Chains A and B, each alone.
Chain A
Amino acid sequence: TSMVNTKHNVKIAAGAVVCVESEIRGDVTIGPRTVVHPKARIIAEAGPIVIGEGNLIEEQALIINGYPENITPDSEVEPKTMTIGMNNVFEVGCVSQALKIGDNNVIESKADVGRNVILTSGCIIGAFCQVNTCEVIPENTVIYGSGCMRRVQTERPQPQTLQLDFLMKILPNYHHLKKTVKAGHHAS
């Protein structure tokens, strides 16, 4: 029998701000103080997604735990969990398929991070850079430019606490929010 993973099981912790216009499908857990803008898409097809605290997911960002390209959805694949740590920023229009993302990373606008990339902490993937190698990006690496040049910075990017506080105050004034559902319960 083919298992189709469409458990609509979205757990949103208290303190997270998730706009109703965002599209969240599958088994997704969102931690407190995380802001998900409208039109952001978080899609858990081939396994669950766990998002930590203090993350900022901007408009048209796509976080997808999808099937690798050479495997059809029908065959039996073990579902892998995608984990995203704390204080990460997913800027407008980026695509992230990385299975493991640490803390304090910034994925800039229209960047594309592949499935086999592991971001440790303090990494910055520059705008429009496509990283689809099979590697662990060391800490505090900056990838920038059309040739995806790399350099190491001495300090990690600061967590966007000011921006998060501002958004958590302002967004509810203009958008409806998805209801928070504690882990273990189902939305009635």
Chain B
Amino acid sequence: MASLLQPDRVVYLVRGEKKLRASLSQLYFCRYCSELRSLECVSHEVDSHYCPSCLENMPSAEAKLKKNRCANCFDCPCCMHTLSTRATNIPAPLPDDPTKTAMKKAYYLACGFCRWTSRDVGMADKSVASGGWQEPENPHNQRINKLIEYYQQLAHREKQERDRKKLARRRQCMPLAFSEKYGLGTRLQRQRPGGPISSLAGLSLKEGEDQKEISIEPAQALDEVEPLPEDCYTRTISLPEVTTLRQRLLQPDFQPAGASQLHPRHKHLLMKRSLRCRKCEHNLSKPEFNPTSIKFKIQLVAVSYIPEVRIMSIPNLRYMKESQVLLTLTNPVESITHVTLAACEEGDPDDINGTAKVIVPTKELVLAGKDAAAEYDELAEPQDFQDDPDVVAFRKSNKIGFFIKVIPQKEEDADVVVSFKIRHDFRNLAAPIRPSEEGAETATEGVWLTHHVELRLGPLAS
């Protein structure tokens, strides 16, 4: 019954800028705001760049210079796989004595997936294993660089005017480089759609320097276009010679139409991102710097703070008949957690997908803490929780199985969906410990959090 464990079966509601329903494994939990966060209500920031094949880290400045491409690795222009360097032995004349020939190593690039080689486009074999391969240069490079310089200067000038206006309005003793000091980190400077792009302005000359006036010639429109070749309609098409759209558009500089002009390009870098809560500006997820490491420096994922509901077994569901569904509840934290369930009331704005009435246990469920050493500790006495056998089916370390009663209300073909609220206590270990005035009190206070959970139980039994 692995289909019952699929992530989309049990979803939690996230009350962010948009109301989203997602599985707990895809959500984050901000323990400073004590709220669930999804990928849509956090801000994504670039942490570091790395190459996916050679796993080499690259500082952001260097990445920008190299246009986010790796220096060593190439992509196959035909199937976009990573190219590997292969060596052959070719007889070559010795430099001292032209009459004798010795075996020299020649290197060429080859793709293991589609068997493309660099010899297919006429690239000569190189004598060094790496560093000998050059990308062809874009014929429009000069014009584009000139345009970029011109617009950088323009953006810089506009930014200066904006700063001057801001200073004039504020009439305070602010340092001159106001907008440069508070860069793109704070929320004020974040790009708003439709606003001026200030990223170009930061790259130009410093304020005190003399600025050369850069002028550009406007682009000239041509009347005559190159005519089509005469055999355009009569020539037979050889399909292997024509590049596909995808192959063509991956090289926007050249967009070659023939397969013999497809040159390999350097591999794109991937990036690691860190997530930040938009309300309190704390980091929710920060990966490690090393590209080979998959661990996180900060990892505030929801599954390690919120009890998780999972479906264990579903009987045959029949229209308007009460059936018992077995669910499990797992406690991720190490302290004892108390959980109360409540059915959604009539007219609850969050309950839009429910198609069945649900009767949840009214008593409070107690979950033991997660104890990693429990399996090794033979002398531990099992804690006695005195469970009601009508409510709690079984108990196993930090997990319990409990029953809910479901009465499907709609006779359609769609899945039966039930929703209820789950209320549990959360101890915020991140908050600073304040000295309490009443003497010896528990350092951490529990906060009661309520979540809206929806379960998709499957179709009615026919």
Q: Measuring CB to CB, which residues of chain A are less than 8 angstroms from any residue of chain B?
A: 124, 126, 141-142, 144-145, 149-155, 157
| Listed stretches B114-122, B134-142, B172-180, B228-236; interface member | B114-122
Q: Do the beta carbons of B119 and A151 come within 8 Å of each other?
A: no
Known contacts A124-B115, A142-B115; is A153 also within 8 Å of B120 by CB?
yes
A150 to B117, CA, bound (A): 15
Q: Do the beta carbons of B115 and A153 come within 8 Å of each other?
A: yes
Q: Measuring CB to CB, which residues of chain B are less than 8 angstroms from any residue of chain A?
A: 78-79, 113-117, 119-120, 240, 259
Which residues of B lie under 8 Å from residue A124 when comparing CB positions? Answer: 115
A153 to B111, CA, bound (A): 12
Q: Do the beta carbons of A152 and B115 come within 8 Å of each other?
A: no
Q: Do the beta carbons of A154 and B240 come within 8 Å of each other?
A: no
Known contacts A145-B79, A151-B259; is A126 also within 8 Å of B113 by CB?
yes
Interface centre among A124, A142, A151 (most CB of B within 10 A): A151
Q: How far is the CB of B250 from chain A (nearest CB, A)?
A: 15
Q: Do the beta carbons of B115 and A144 come within 8 Å of each other?
A: yes
Known contacts A144-B79, A145-B79; is A151 also within 8 Å of B240 by CB?
yes
Which residues of A lie under 8 Å from residue B117 when comparing CB positions? Answer: 153-155
User: B120 touches which one: A144, A154, A157 (CB < 8 A)?
Assistant: A154
* Contact count A vs B, C-beta below 8 Å: 32
Q: How far is the CB of A166 from chain B (nearest CB, A)?
A: 19
Given contacts A145-B113, A145-B114, A150-B240, 6 further A-B contacts (CB under 8 A): A141-B240, A144-B79, A145-B79, A151-B116, A153-B120, A154-B119
Q: Do the beta carbons of A144 and B114 come within 8 Å of each other?
A: yes
Q: Which residue in chain A gives the minimum CB-CB distance to B120?
A: A154
Interface centre among A141, A144, A145, A149 (most CB of B within 10 A): A144
Q: How far is the CB of B72 from chain A (nearest CB, A)?
A: 25
Q: Do the beta carbons of B78 and A151 come within 8 Å of each other?
A: yes
Q: How far is the CB of A116 from chain B (nearest CB, A)?
A: 21
A13 to B113, CA, bound (A): 35
Q: Do the beta carbons of B119 and A142 come within 8 Å of each other?
A: no
Which residues of B lie under 8 Å from residue A151 when comparing CB positions? Answer: 78, 114, 116, 240, 259
A152 to B258, CA, bound (A): 13
In the complex, 6 of the A-B residue pairs with CB atoms within 8 angstroms, ordered by the A residue number, are A144-B114, A149-B114, A151-B114, A151-B116, A151-B259, A155-B119
Q: Which residue in chain A gives the minimum CB-CB distance to B240?
A: A152
Q: Which residue in chain A gives the minimum CB-CB distance to B244?
A: A149
Q: How far is the CB of B256 from chain A (nearest CB, A)?
A: 14
Q: How far is the CB of B83 from chain A (nearest CB, A)?
A: 15
Q: Do the beta carbons of A153 and B79 come within 8 Å of each other?
A: no
Q: How far is the CB of B292 from chain A (nearest CB, A)?
A: 28
A141 to B240, CA, bound (A): 9
A141 to B239, CA, bound (A): 12
Enumerate the 4 nearest inter-chain pairs by beta-carbon distance, A residue then B residue, closest first: A152-B240, A144-B114, A142-B115, A154-B120
Q: Which residue in chain B gives the minimum CB-CB distance to A144?
A: B114
A153 to B114, CA, bound (A): 9
Q: How far is the CB of B45 from chain A (nearest CB, A)?
A: 35
A124 to B79, CA, bound (A): 15
Which residues of A lie under 8 Å from residue B115 when comparing CB positions? Answer: 124, 142, 144, 153, 157
